[in-house]
Structures are given as C-alpha cells and as structure tokens.
Amino acid sequence: MKDAVLKSLKQARVVSGETLATELGISRTAVWKHVNQLRREGYRISSSPRRGYALDSVPDSLLAAKIAEHLQTRVLGREIVTCKEVQSTQDHAKTLALQGSPDGTIVVAETQSGGRGRFGRSWASPPGGLYVSIILRPSITLAEVTRIPLVAAVALVRAIQRHTPTELRLKWPNDVLIQNRKAAGILAEMSAEVDRLDWMILGIGVNVAITSAALPPDIRQTSTSLATGSTRTVQRVQLLRDILYELEGALEMLQTEGFEPIRKQWKDQSDMLGKHVMVAGKRQPIKGKAVDIDGYGALILECAGGIRQRITSGDVFRVGAAHG
C-alpha cells in the first residue's frame, strides 16, 4: 500500500489526502501513516492543509530495484545485494563468492562499520559515500591480475568524470585524487590456487558527499569528497550505474585489445610520471623518478645512477627532486 501511495504521489503533482484515501480505499489516517513512512525513507514530501501532498524529491538511497532500473551492463550488477549497514562489503562479497555467486554480483552498503582499504587498513565509511564490492570471475592468468586495479581505476575516473567537471588524477596504483586529495579508492582482492585465479573482489569506495568532519581526524588533510567545492549534487545510484558500465567496458577492452589502451589511458590520467617520488612499503623506502607503467601495471622508477626499479607494491609519495 505504501508503494501505491508513492505511485500516486509520483503521478500527481499535488494530491489531497482525501483523493488518495478514496483512490486507494484506505482511511486518511492510513494515508498519513504511509506518507510519514516514506519521509523516514528519505522521500521529501511537502503538505499543505488546502492543497494536499506533493513529492518534492526522491531519496538517493541505494535500493536494488533503483540501481537495476536503468542499468546498461550485461554482467556487472545483474545480481545486486544491498545493505543499510554492513561490516565490510568486501567480506560480504567474499562469502557470496565462496558460495558460488556469479560473475558481476555486487554488494552495496550505505555505511560500513569495518570498511577495509589496501594493506589491511581501515576505510572510513560514513553515510554519504558509495561503497560497493564487485565479484569478478575473469578469464585471466594470475600474472595478469595486477592489471585489474589499473583497469578499474581508469573506469572509475571515467564514471566519476560524468558527474563532476573537477579535474581528476590517478595516483599509482589506483587512487583517484582531486587537487591531490583522495576522493576514491580501490581494493582488489582475489582467491586463487597458486597457479589459477578463482575470483576477484573489486572494492570501490567513493567519497560522494562526505564532510571533512565525518572522517577520522588523521585523514582529513589528505581526503576530499566530490561534493567539496561543488554545487552539483551527485546521485549515487547513477554514479554506481556509470561505474559498473565503465568497468564492464574497460574489462571488455582488456580482453579484446589487451592492456595497452588501458595503460595509455592510465598514463594520460596520472600526473605522476616524470615526477620524483618515494615508495614506502614493507621494505626499505625507494626514491626515484616515476618514468613509466609497465605491461603488468608495475610502476617503473629511475633511481640514482640511472638504475630502473620495478615497483609492484607500496605507497607512493611525491617528493622534491632527488639530490645525487
């Protein structure tokens, strides 16, 4: 009945409680209750005693039916699991993958209580962000797996760019930056035999409309949100559809054209190449000039003495020019 009330509100610009009650064969009190329920779900419904109810805006909540409605993909997002709150979309997707959920299944949540980032770090996940994990079962070898985060990064930038005129930049391997602050990130995890990929879970987190105050203090200086300094409102449902569409396209391109076009797009989208950087990881930090991305997504550094180093893991920081 709540859905019937919503349908009537969507059809009429303004409709009185009495008309709604008659139309649906329920009491005016019942109409009022359903309207209030819709308001709690995020629908903005104004009311005036003389004219009645008007639907001012629909919520940007991540409902499976809404996501599926205008989805243009063939595989990604054809199975949708939505959660209001989950510990981690990534872990939930892993459990589903283990149970055999098909290629392209997605898990979306409004917030995560234990969101995860790279290297087992936490990923702050307050309301207003987009948190999605995508189950992929690609036909690639284990050696090719390292390309996927860069494929996803290129797709993510293309999707976000449809929603904002702000310049987006990629930081190796797969952070999306706005004015040198992180606006989105990717976590690529996999399950495999030592010589055969079983499945991957691509976790994508986008700070869509998150105020600095909603983030932990230690990342406020290095993070940003699509809403910051923008007057446009980004609809998360449409952003999610665009991410799935662009990712599917990029994965198809990888299959048909190989990694080269993706590599080129990644390089175009990054301003890191030619700059002096430091890579911090488990081992000794390495300094050098970032000169290239290779055919498996590794970062190539030119270090002191012209020696080239291939970086496959770690965090990259811009530094001043190396001396000596």
**Site for a copy of itself contains 313 (CB under 8 A):** yes
**Site for a copy of itself contains 198 (CB under 8 A):** yes
**Site for a copy of itself contains 89 (CB under 8 A):** no
Distance from chain centroid for Cα 27: 43
Region binding a copy of itself by CB under 8 A among candidate stretches 38-46, 192-200, 241-249, 284-292: 192-200
Region binding a copy of itself by CB under 8 A among candidate stretches 36-44, 102-110, 144-152, 206-214: 144-152
Q: How far is the CB of 89 from a copy of itself (least distance, A)?
A: 14
Assess contact for 239 and 149: CB atoms under 8 A. no
Assess contact for 133 and 93: CB atoms under 8 A. yes
Contacts of 138 (CB under 8 A, 6+ apart): 103, 148, 197, 200, 251
Region binding a copy of itself by CB under 8 A among candidate stretches 31-39, 181-189, 208-216, 241-249: 181-189
Output Rg (C-alpha) for the chain, integer angstroms. 23
Assess contact for 274 and 291: CB atoms under 8 A. yes
Q: Which of 94, 163, 171, 182 binds a copy of itself (CB under 8 A)?
A: 94
Q: How far is the CB of 294 from a copy of itself (least distance, A)?
A: 14
Q: What are the CA-CA distances from residue 1 to residues 6, 18, 21, 35, 156 (Å)?
A: 9, 16, 11, 11, 39
Rounded Cα distance, 239 and 205, in Å: 12
**Site for a copy of itself contains 146 (CB under 8 A):** yes
Q: How far is the CB of 145 from a copy of itself (least distance, A)?
A: 5
Q: Which of 194, 213, 307, 321 binds a copy of itself (CB under 8 A)?
A: 194
Distance from chain centroid for Cα 172: 17
CA atoms within 13 A on the CB side of 149: 24
Helix (H) or strand (E) holding 134: strand 130-136
**Site for a copy of itself contains 185 (CB under 8 A):** no
Region binding a copy of itself by CB under 8 A among candidate stretches 32-40, 156-164, 183-191, 267-275: 183-191
Q: Which of 119, 252, 260, 268 binds a copy of itself (CB under 8 A)?
A: 119
**Site for a copy of itself contains 105 (CB under 8 A):** no
Q: How far is the CB of 170 from a copy of itself (least distance, A)?
A: 16
